[in-house]
Amino acid sequence: MHGPALPGWLMVALCAVTGAACLLRVRVCSGEERRTAGGEALMGFGMASMALPTAALSPPEWSWAVYAAVFGAAALHGLAAVRRGGCHLHHVVGSLAMVYMAVAMAVPGAGAHAGHTAGGAGGGPVLTGGTPVLTGGLLLYFTVYVLHTGARLVPGGMSAPAPATVGAPTPSGGGGPAPLAVVGAPAWATRPELALACRLSMALATLAMLVTL
């Protein structure tokens, strides 16, 4: 990792680590929290793949259609799950933002793969596709989300959860049903702060991608 590719690799690392943390939550949680964590893991790894600099991988043109299809399916799944509450509506917005950027990348002449990384991190031109009004609306949404979620992670921003009991419900941090921890799961892995940190990381990565549109 040298020169302009460094920001791209940092984006890949952030999204991949976030995806791995969400996979851990899939293993140690159950119920609605497990399903939510699974969707967030898909989002994290998908974003890591999209952020790969062109110096490492130059994707074929059809790959953007695959990204759009995968995230479109995730958005439809999130819409079907909105009635269960939790963070599903935010997941729908995030998935649709990924579809929007994938479609913008697929437009002929819109830019190179590196446009999804800060400042064209892979060495290619910065993405110039997209609709300014829609891009601005998404930027506003994710900026507000980052500030709100970051404030909740500040000490004192969240009420301290009661001591967890193995197999007992713990707060999800997302407004949905409280998750059930798998027997023997480490207490820190089911804390609401971990879920919030994952969502904050992906929102920051989405902001960085949108800025290049």
Query: What pLDDT, in 10s, does the model give residues 93-109?
Result: 999 999 999 998 887 65
- Using DSSP's 3-state secondary structure scheme, residue 168 falls into coil
Number of independent structural domains in the chain: 1
Where in the sequence is the domain holding 100, given as residue range(s)?
3-211
d(CA 107, CA 213): 12
Q: How many CB atoms sit inside 10 A of residue 80's CB?
A: 11
Q: pTM to 2 decimals?
A: 0.75
Q: What is the per-residue pLDDT across 119-170, written as a single tens digit (0 to 9) for each?
A: 444 444 345 567 899 999 999 999 999 999 999 988 865 554 444 443 444 4
